Chain A
Amino acid sequence: MVLRRCRKLLGDDQTARDAMHDVFVQVLTRADELDDRAPSSLLFRIATNVCLNRIRSRKRRPEDGDPSLLVEIAEATDPAARSAARAALDTLFRHEPDDTALIAILHLHDEMTLEEVAAEVGMSVSGVRKRLYKLRTKLHSLEVSP
C-alpha cells in the first residue's frame, strides 16, 4: 500500500522506493507519538507527507521536472486556471501550513469528502473547508494578478 501510494504521487519507481523507506523510518523513529489504531490511515498520511516533501524538494531542483500532482490539484480546483496554475503553485503553498497541501491532495486528488479529510487529518470539517476555501481564493487571486 505504501509503495503504491508513493508511486502514484511521485511517478518514478526508484524514487517511490526511497520514499517508502523514509516512511517506515519515520514510523519507527516516532513510534511513541503515533496513534496506531488505524495503521493503514497512519501509513497513508505519512506516505503522503513524505512524498509532498520530496515534491517540494523537486521544485527547488527544476531539473527533476514538474510536480504533476500539484498541477493536477490546481486543475481540479478550477479548469480555467490551468495555464496560470504551474507558475502559481509555488506561491500558492508558500505561506500555507504544511498540512494544507495534504488536505488539498486528499480532497482534490484522492476524492475524499470533507468529512473523510477531517477524520484523516484530525481537524474539524469547518477547518478543512476553510483551508480549501482559502486555497481556492488564493489561487483565483493569483490567477488574476498581473
Chain B
Amino acid sequence: MTSLPDWLVERAALDELPAGSRARLDAADPRELADRIAALRDDNARELAAYPPGPAVAQIRAEAGKQRTARSRRMRAVVLGVATSAAAVLVVAHFARPHAAPVAMHVDDGDGDGVRVKGRARLTAFRQVGDQAEQLAPDALCQAGDVIQLRYNAGGKRYGMIASLDGAGVVTLHYPATEDAPPEATKLAPQTTALPSSYALDDAPRFERFFFLTANEPIDLQQSLQALHALAQHSDSADAALELPPGVRQWSLRLRKPDTRHEDRHD
C-alpha cells in the first residue's frame, strides 16, 4: 500500500482521475482514500459555511470583465505577431513540397537490409528567421531558442521514428508523439511531410543531432530509444552510429551549438 498525494485524492473525490493514474489509486489503502475524501468534503462544507460564495463570485465577475476589456485592446497588437508566425508556417509548407531541393545529409546505412529502394529517406531541418524559413545544412551553427521545423521524406520506407540527441546527452522523441506509442504508430506518410510541431532548441552545448530511423516493418520505439540512450553515454555521440536491429536504417543531421556549459559558469 502506498500513500496518495493530495492532488490524486482531490481528483478521485471529483471523479476526474486521469486514466494513467488509475493504478496508483488501486495500489492505495482504500480506507485511507475514503477517509481523506471524507475529510476533503468536510473541509469544503466548512469553507462554504464560513465564506458563502455569492460576494466572491460577484467580485470575480467584475474583475474578469475589466480584464477582458483591457485584453481586447491589446489583441490588435498581438494579431500582428500571429500573422508573422503564420507567414513563417506558410514558408515552411512551401519548402515541404516534394520537389524541393534535399539537404545534404550525414548518412549512415548501418546494417540495413541491403536492399536500396528508389530515393533516400531523409530529414530536412528549417530554422524560423523572422517570417522566413531557412533550410539548415549539416553542421549549421544554431543557438538556444532557435525554432526548428523538421520534415521527412520516407524514401519508400513505410515506418520510421525521429528523435534527437543533444550535447547534454538528452534524448527527445519527435515522431511519433509519445514513447509509449505502439510500433504501428511509427507509420510514415508516403509523401514529404513536415512534423506537426516545431522544436525550440535549448542551451544544451556543442550539438543537436536529429536521427531518422526507417524500416519496412513497424519500429520498436523502446528498443530504438534505448539505442539512443546508449549512444548518449559515449564520448563520440556527436558522430557515432546507433546500434540498431537488422532492417532499421538510420540517418542523422547534426547541428552545431555553442558550448553553453562554459558560458553558464559565468552567469
Using CB atoms and an 8 Å cutoff, list the residues of chain A in contact with chain B: 1, 3-5, 8, 21, 24-25, 28-29, 38-41, 44, 91, 94-95, 110-113, 115-116, 118-120, 124-127, 129-130, 133-134, 137-138, 141, 145
Instruction: Indicate whether B76 reaches chain A with its CB closer than 8 angstroms.
Output: no
Return the contact of B168 from the options A111, A115, A134 (Cβ within 8 A). Answer: A134
Instruction: Indicate whether B215 reaches chain A with its CB closer than 8 angstroms.
Output: no
**Interface pair A112/B5, CB less than 8 Å apart:** yes
Secondary structure at the A interface, as helix, strand, loop or mixed, is helix
**Interface pair A119/B18, CB less than 8 Å apart:** yes
How many chain B residues touch A (Cβ–Cβ < 8 Å)? 39
Return the contact of A29 from the options B11, B14, B68, B267 (Cβ within 8 A). Answer: B68
A28 to B59, CA, bound (A): 12
A145 to B5, CA, bound (A): 35
Nearest-neighbor residue (CB-CB) of A145 within chain B: B265
Q: A41-B11, A119-B18 are in contact. List 13 more A-B contacts (CB 8 A).
A: A24-B60, A25-B67, A28-B64, A39-B14, A41-B16, A110-B6, A112-B7, A115-B20, A125-B179, A130-B170, A134-B204, A141-B261, A141-B264
Chain B nearest CB from A60 CB (Å) reads 18
A141 neighbours in B (Cβ, 8 Å): 261, 264-265
Instruction: Indicate whether B118 reaches chain A with its CB closer than 8 angstroms.
Output: no
Instruction: Indicate whether B21 reaches chain A with its CB closer than 8 angstroms.
Output: yes
Return the contact of B60 from the options A5, A25, A133 (Cβ within 8 A). Answer: A25
6 interchain residue pairs of minimum CB distance: A28-B64, A126-B173, A111-B5, A40-B16, A24-B60, A126-B172
B56 neighbours in A (Cβ, 8 Å): 21
**Interface pair A134/B172, CB less than 8 Å apart:** no
Contact A25:B64 (CB < 8 A) given known A3-B47, A126-B179? yes
**Interface pair A119/B168, CB less than 8 Å apart:** no
Nearest-neighbor residue (CB-CB) of B64 within chain A: A28
B171 neighbours in A (Cβ, 8 Å): 126, 130
A4 to B46, CA, bound (A): 13
**Interface pair A125/B180, CB less than 8 Å apart:** yes
Instruction: Indicate whether B235 reaches chain A with its CB closer than 8 angstroms.
Output: no
Instruction: Indicate whether B134 reaches chain A with its CB closer than 8 angstroms.
Output: no
Would you list 6 pairs from A and B whose C-beta atoms are within 8 A, ordered by A residue? A25-B67, A29-B71, A41-B16, A134-B168, A138-B264, A141-B264
